Amino acid sequence: MSPELLTQIHRGRPSPLGATVVDGGCNFAVFSPKATQIEICLFDVDDREALRIKLPARSGGIWYGFIPGVGYGQKYGIRASGAFEPHQGLFFNPNKLLIDPYAQSISKKAVPSNLFYAHDRDNREDMTPCLKDSAPQMTKSVVTDQSFDWQGTQSPKLKWNNTVIYEAHVKGFTMNFPHIPDELRGTYLGMAHPAVISYIKQLGMTTIQLMPVFSFMTEPRLRDLSLSNYWGYNPINFFSPDPRYALKDPVSELKTLVREYHKAGLEVVLDVVYNHTAEGSIVGQTLSYRGLDPGFYRYHPDDRTHYVDDSGCGNSVNVYKAHVLRMVMDSMRHWVTHYHIDGFRFDLAVSLAREEWDFSRSSTFFKVISQDPVLHDIKLIAEPWDMGRNGYQLGQFPEEWYEINDKFRDSVRAFWLTDSADLADFATRIMGSRELFRKGVQEISASLNMITCHDGFTLEDLVSYQQKHNQLNQERNRDGHNANYSANHGEEGVTANPDILELRSRQKRNLLATLLLSQGSVHFLAGDEICRTQKGNNNAYCQDNELNYLDWQIGISQRKHLEFVRQLIKIRSSSQLFGDLVFNPEQLKHGPAHSDEVHWFNLLGKPMEIANWHDKNLKAGMLLISKKIQDPQTELVSVDECFLIMVNAHSSERECVIPASPMGGWKVILDTGEDDGMTPPDFCLSEDIITLKAKTLLLLSHPEWSVNPD
């Protein structure tokens, strides 16, 4: 920068925060209320520090200034001066280059370094500032141009009852995917390739949920073990896409991904981590927030020597503070406005809704989202717990939020895979867990049902392992869930026993049929449709290798399973009776939901009674779903759309009396006891008593009903 331009530096504006190109230069604004000086450091193309410029103006806690000649693509960082008093939460150290909290792009993948600690780690008795410059190792913030050709695409804005969410990891999904160029494997553009989109579309999914793509960093502990944070739940910035998934430009390439999915009528939801950052505990690395604002994290009352750790990751972002809440809202609007994102899945969402200390259903976080014109109608998904006090809050989020329902997961697994089955609880879960989700005027269940997700066993491992096998994580198999409600069906892990393999396949079909025929909405883990295994590892967060990369070289049994999943999703999407039933409080009072659309029967074909529901040995029953009728015996013959779901979780077959039939009898459209889960077309039942095989689910339909064509 020429001396003439240096003389043109002036006060600029305190808003917006971050770097904004305007009027032949760039305005920088940084929130740091306790700093005594903020410097913007500009870097050349070789990553050498070319210039330091003190921001000349301050308004409240915001430092700002206009630097002429700075344009898009300029790499920069922040140096903050002030008190260094770790016992007060103050870590100001101008030797440490900081990422701009509002940076919209970073220059390279962030990797941990011992240079990033603001304190001298060799002085363990008394924390003193480290005088070594971290700039050579630190990724740089980048002044970013957000212009992009969206080619007229619009968000599909799908209704929740039509939504089937497909959770996928950008790298793991694409590393081995056929028909895409080698250079695109593991990237945003690989995920946007027509072959990938066509596969997801043909599978029947409506919404892709990407595991974290915010810029993140591996924990130093994992680096020391020669492992890495593969999942990405360790952010360093809330505005920039991670460059490790990009060929050249992560900003335009992630936007390309969203644009191409929208062209195909698919939604894109981001899994976001606002509850903690990669800076870790009070003695962790100083990367950005800690070096600028001691109030960014929660502290113990009257003790600034330790962070509150509701995340289990060393710190908790203090969304109770107005300026931190503002940053989270600015970040959400950024992704919706600039990237056209359709919604968010919030990791440990309870942390975001804590007021001064405790979770509140009427928290400021919820209120500002509900009134925001950009955010109020996007998809909002809560992981309804955190690690803090009273951290489990399933069913307590506002009515526009859907919540990940771990009770559905555990109840359905237990019903099919263990001896602790409870038919009443199972029935409650598949009817949308209405006793949990009583959300005022909400008419349909806000339950996001799942059997598996990234955290835990895959579907294949769920039916193949009795115990977790996490030894590769180097934590002595102490990490990961212990209560998995899984079963190996006779042998642990891989087996050649045909009887065990057949039973495992049947159980996978039972679990997925229950999921796809349930009320509420559906979450599906990518790879479960092709029987992906993690070899019994139920916490593979640190395995950036073939253990996590989907293997698309599938055999005959996997292809049958894949086709079964496709047909299941077609069945669900072909009728509004799945996932869209409405109940009033009276219909939920005496056990699992029942109404003129829902009738429960025991194996004798009689309506379920209280004694039946309390029979802990009963693991079989029937569910009739239809248009409104009061007496199935007399009225079902006049209905043109109806389904009978028959379940038998016993280890032996059971005889069932058909309670009633539509005109022309029942048509069998799904039988998990069959090798491929399906039945010949137009196969109708004529008898009144049928035998349900052990561990099977049957779905019968009106004889004239059929799935929607592709």
Write down the catalytic residue from 267, 383, 403, 460.
383
Please report the pLDDT score of residue 343 as a whole number. Answer: 98
Q: Do domains 3-142 and 160-453+522-532+543-549 have the same CATH topology?
A: no
- Which residues are registered as beta bridge partners of 642? 626
Residues 444, 392: Cα–Cα separation, whole Å: 22
For residue 91, give Cα distances in angstroms to 35, 498, 526, 548. 10, 62, 42, 37
Q: What is the helix (H) or strand (E) element at residue 167, kind and residue range?
A: strand 164-168
Please report the pLDDT score of residue 589 as a whole number. Answer: 52
Largest CA distance in the chain: 94
Q: Is 158 helix (H, G, I), strand (E, B) or coil?
A: coil
Q: How many CB atoms lie within 10 A of CB 179?
A: 11
Q: Cite the DSSP H helix spans in 281-405.
A: 322-339, 364-371
What would the two tokens of residue 710 be? 């592709």
Q: Is 216 helix (H, G, I), strand (E, B) or coil?
A: strand
CATH 3.30.930.10 is right for the domain spanning 160-453+522-532+543-549:
no
* Residues written for the chain: 710
Single-letter amino acid code for the residue at 503: L
The C-alpha angle with vertex 488 and arms to 483 and 490, in degrees rounded to 5, equals 140
Whether the CA torsion 79, 82, 83, 88 is positive or negative: it is negative
Residues 274, 352: Cα–Cα separation, whole Å: 7
Residues 62, 467: Cα–Cα separation, whole Å: 53
Give the alpha-carbon dihedral of 153, 155, 158, 163, to 10 degrees: 100
Residues 365, 475: Cα–Cα separation, whole Å: 36
Please report the pLDDT score of residue 709 as a whole number. Answer: 77
Residues 6, 147: Cα–Cα separation, whole Å: 28
Q: How many CB atoms lie within 10 A of CB 588?
A: 18
For residue 401, give Cα distances in angstroms to 89, 314, 381, 394, 441. 35, 27, 6, 11, 13
Q: What is the helix (H) or strand (E) element at residue 4, kind and residue range?
A: helix 3-6
- Residues in the chain with pLDDT < 50? none
Task: Estimate the crossing angle of helix 250-263 against helix 322-339, to 10 degrees.
Answer: 60
**Could you tell me if residue 30 is left (phi over 0), alpha (psi between -120 and 50 degrees) or otherwise beta?**
beta
Domain boundaries, the chain: 3-142, 160-453+522-532+543-549
Chain segment 479-523, per-residue pLDDT in tens: 999 999 999 999 999 999 999 999 999 999 999 999 999 999 999
> DSSP E strands: which ranges in 273-397?
299-300, 303-307, 343-346, 379-382
Residues 507, 499: Cα–Cα separation, whole Å: 12
Q: Is 645 helix (H, G, I), strand (E, B) or coil?
A: strand
Q: What is the helix (H) or strand (E) element at residue 697, kind and residue range?
A: strand 696-701
Single-letter amino acid code for the residue at 613: W
Phi and psi, residue 565, nearest 5°: -65, -45
Residues 118, 134: Cα–Cα separation, whole Å: 9
For residue 514, give Cα distances in angstroms to 568, 587, 680. 10, 22, 21
Write down the catalytic residue from 100, 310, 347, 460.
347
Cβ proximity of 517 and 578 under 8 Å? yes
Cβ proximity of 600 and 622 under 8 Å? yes
Cβ proximity of 594 and 569 under 8 Å? no
Q: Is 254 helix (H, G, I), strand (E, B) or coil?
A: helix
443 as an active site residue: the answer is no
Cβ proximity of 619 and 421 under 8 Å? yes
User: What percent helix, strand, coil does the chain show, rounded to 5?
Assistant: 25, 20, 55
| Domain formed by 3-142, architecture | Sandwich (2.60)
710 as an active site residue: the answer is no
Q: Is 85 helix (H, G, I), strand (E, B) or coil?
A: strand
Q: What is the helix (H) or strand (E) element at residue 190, kind and residue range?
A: helix 188-191
Chain segment 220-275, per-residue pLDDT in tens: 999 999 999 999 999 999 999 999 999 999 999 999 999 999 999 999 999 999 99
